[in-house]
Structure 1
Amino acid sequence: MQGFKDVPRTVWLLAAGVFVNAVVSFTFVFVFLYLTGPRGLGTAQAGLVTGIGGIGLVAGNFTGGWYGDRFGHRRVLLAASTLGGLALMAFPLLPTPLLYAALPLAQYASGVVRAANSALVAVTVPEGARRQAFAVVRCVSNGGFTLGPPLGALVATGLSYDWLFVGDGLGTLFFALWTARVVPARGASRTPAAAADGGRDRDRGRGLWGELRARPAVLVLLGAILVTDLVYRQQYSAFPVFLADHGLDARAFGLVIALNGGVILLLELPAAVALRERPALPVIGTGLVLVGAGYAALLLGAGIASAVAMMVLLSLGEILYKTTATAYVADQAPEHAIGRFQSLYAGVSVSGVVLGPPLGGALYAAAPGLLWPLCAGLAAGAGGALFWVWARQARQAARGDVRGDARHAARPAHETGSRPRAVAG
């Protein structure tokens, strides 16, 4: 735990709420079965409803941080959690046509909560400790999601699918109450609005796009994550079809997917501590290359061994890139736009939920032998782009050139003397 001494107590308490909420967030696993079962929708109709819900999730991720920069990340998280919880609890009472609106609303609220939660961590934790803080939150979230599906299956079969939504809604409302309890509404120092006072004139003259252009490494990172997430999400769409086509049933897929949570729970926190002083971009780039290597493993054959190798490599890559990239974007963000930067990253990092299945499915149907080499090449290329940016920054630093994003490079907390900033309500 020595490596986590700089993670504030507020983050540990917030992570406890994230864990409970993740355990009962099982409706996303069973929603398709709910729609085609108790609700009696056809496969095409259920796919349309869930697809619209996925768009809501991505939109919520893209906008949650914008709201937080304007109204306060804590307030936005509380409002979105309350709205999402009530929407989920109302599901069993709604007529089927209203689900076309209710599911996107609940998913939108979930996306806003995700972005607001990341922004809360970013403004609470000093530079130099953000990787460890995000690793804590991600680890407990993955632990909750590992426990959730088996518990949800027991609820659905022992009670009914309706109770899944009630339980998920109650868990989301609990998260709102817990956050209100453990995250201070006001601090003695700066709030997002106050932090913007010194940069408001800058913000008018140089908006979000201007801030991003001043940090070209962040732009390259966002593009690399967009490409990689399209690849990463194939594990939930084309990959199970690939296994089934080669004689491996749903039990094999479930076993392989379970490895992801196990590897993350075992290695995420130690990796965050061991790599906390390493430059971010090569760590992220290595993670993206490992994701590509995971899909390349499927070229060795379609047996259980290659599937396990694929998932282990994919999980190792996820450990390296997801936490580090989230922290890097937070470290690069200006004070008045931390939420917007987090929203951009959050939205890009789930874009594959909407884009991955149709693109991967279409390619697999047309040319099944091409999908995995393309996935491997895209992820490796995305990682290579980050290594190129890192090498370019190193050359600039050697020349004493501090143009662009080099001026905004984050330093460890022991160098900057940073302390946790107060969280605004």
Structure 2
Amino acid sequence: MQGFKDVPRVVWLLAAGVFVNAVVSFTFVFVFLYLTGPRGLGAAQAGVVTGIGGIGLVAGNFTGGWYGDRFGHRRVLLAASALGGLTLTTLPLLPTPLLYAALPLAQYANGVVRAANSALVAVTVPEGARRQAFAVVRCVSNGGFTLGPPLGALVAAGLSYDWLFLADGLGTLFFALWTARVVPARGAARTPAAAPDGGRGRGGVWAALRARPAVPVLLGAILVADTVYRQQYFTFPVFLADHGLDVRAFGLVIAVNGAVILLLELPAAVALRNRPPLAVTGSGLVLVGAGYAVLIAGAGAATAVAMMVLVSLGEILYKTTATAYVADEAPEHAVGRFQSLYAGVSVSGTVLAPPAGGALYAAAPWLLWPLCAALAAGAGAVLIRLSSRQGRKAPAAAPQATGGGGEHSGGGEERHAPRPAHETGSRPRPVAG
């Protein structure tokens, strides 16, 4: 396909494994309903349990890239997939108190897998094609996600929720085996490129962030937006249930998300690849806010579908673009760590959304959706304004080449494609993500 010719074959093969795993990745979608249903917990308590599990997911995302920069992204992905798959298969057998430990462990492993997979794509694809490469992985993932929720709802209603955890665990183990086959380790062990300050620790990363002030602003906007975005998995199904729509309706509405992304993700990535990334990301966040604003009109099939379509369109604009933008802005020695920072922030809502949304929904349900709409739209407006300011400064900005050699993950597993020197400031680049 035109526009995707620079995406390496290994990315397409990796995406095939992501698709299969996504079809059976039921746990995240149905865990809140599982806790409030078969486990008999109230909404507030289920929010706390899910939030604690989300801490593991966020921690895994924040650390996965750091492990990968040191030990190799492929190796880290394989180890974390095996741990996560084995833990998920045992969850239904555990008493409820042990879920406080097992769920964070499973989510931690899943977070490491997510960050390692993202970094693996980033170090495989040359700058200028990363937005398309991330779009490929996200598109096939959402293709699986389109099939997964309705299938999971049928399994949960016809059999039990226990089968969802078993399928999810086996799918994660399959992904480990598939990755080991299609992404071979190659090359002798090499020393990763040194950070500009001579080290590979935290100091180098924070110094790099200070040199790229737009990246922390983007991370802050994503932190706010993800807390809003994740409400679709926590308070939104409870909201539907309180208005007479059961788990099957929720599964079908969630499937709309995957269907919209499956149809439009790749065309949008090609059509918008030359647009300023911060403006595209900000526009996506505004659309997410508009989606939640629709729910102010009440619960029903029409409003639920309209909400999901708008949120999905916003997701198409902001998620792929922001991921690729952070990868393009990363210095050579810290691609994995920059991806971990973004990956951790981009799932922060799994910790913040359940307790915050659950408490607000219990105390003042009428306030939840207006507040969600305002927060997401406000975060988007900040990025759009920042992009506009950068555009006005761009003509006077002088290019400043980045230094540093080619980064290589420890263990010699992945080799970076050559990256051209580019500006390290906040001036937008045409094909940056």
Q: Equivalent residue for 1:343?
A: 340
Letter in 1 for 2:75: R
Q: In 2 relative to 1, CA 205–18 (structure 1 residues): closer, same or farther, beyond 3 Å?
A: closer
Q: Say yes or no: does 1:211 pair with 2:178.
A: no
**C-alpha separation between the residues in 1 aligned to 2:150 and 2:291?**
26
Q: Say yes or no: does 1:105 pair with 2:105.
A: yes
Q: Deviations over 1:47-83 (max 9, x none)?
A: 5543322211111111111111111111110110111
Q: In 2 relative to 1, CA 373–390 (structure 1 residues): closer, same or farther, beyond 3 Å?
A: same
More deviation in 257-266 or 10-19? 257-266
Q: Say yes or no: does 1:273 pair with 2:270.
A: yes
Letter in 2 for 1:357: P
Q: CA deviation at 1:42?
A: 4.1
Q: TM (normalized to structure 2)?
A: 0.85
More deviation in 82-91 or 293-302? 293-302
Q: Equivalent residue for 1:11?
A: 11
Q: Equivalent residue for 2:62?
A: 62
Q: Is the 8 A contact 2:194 2:200 kept in 1?
A: no
Letter in 2 for 1:336: H
Q: In 2 relative to 1, CA 96–341 (structure 1 residues): closer, same or farther, beyond 3 Å?
A: same
SS in 1 for 2:142: helix
Q: Say yes or no: does 1:407 pair with 2:424.
A: yes
Q: Equivalent residue for 2:308?
A: 311
Q: Is the 8 A contact 2:282 2:381 kept in 1?
A: yes
Q: In 2 relative to 1, CA 369–406 (structure 1 residues): closer, same or farther, beyond 3 Å?
A: farther
- The equivalent position to 1:238 in structure 2, one of 218, 235, 239, is 235
Q: Structure 2 matches for 1:325-336, cutoff 5 A? A: 325-336=322-333
**C-alpha separation between the residues in 2 aligned to 1:364 and 1:205?**
39
Q: Say yes or no: does 1:88 pair with 2:127.
A: no
**C-alpha separation between the residues in 1 aligned to 2:156 and 2:340?**
33
Q: Say yes or no: does 1:283 pair with 2:280.
A: yes
Q: Is the 8 A contact 1:84 1:105 kept in 2?
A: yes
**C-alpha separation between the residues in 2 aligned to 1:35 and 1:371?**
22
**C-alpha separation between the residues in 1 aligned to 2:354 and 2:102?**
22
Q: Equivalent residue for 2:354?
A: 357
- The equivalent position to 2:257 in structure 1, one of 249, 260, 263, is 260
Letter in 1 for 2:176: A
Q: CA deviation at 1:363?
A: 2.9
**C-alpha separation between the residues in 2 aligned to 1:53 and 1:384?**
31
What are the ranges of 5 or more consecutive residues in structure 1 without an aligned counterpart? 416-425
RMSD of Structure 2 on Structure 1 (CA): 2.9
Q: In 2 relative to 1, CA 362–402 (structure 1 residues): closer, same or farther, beyond 3 Å?
A: farther
Q: Equivalent residue for 2:364?
A: 367
Q: TM (normalized to structure 1)?
A: 0.86
Q: CA deviation at 1:9?
A: 0.2
More deviation in 57-66 or 256-265? 256-265
Q: Say yes or no: does 1:320 pair with 2:317.
A: yes
What are the ranges of 5 or more consecutive residues in structure 2 without an aligned counterpart? 403-421
Q: CA deviation at 1:41?
A: 5.4
Q: Is the 8 A contact 1:127 1:411 kept in 2?
A: no
**C-alpha separation between the residues in 1 aligned to 2:313 and 2:301?**
18
Q: In 2 relative to 1, CA 101–375 (structure 1 residues): closer, same or farther, beyond 3 Å?
A: closer
**C-alpha separation between the residues in 1 aligned to 2:40 and 2:6?**
50
Q: CA deviation at 1:394?
A: 2.0
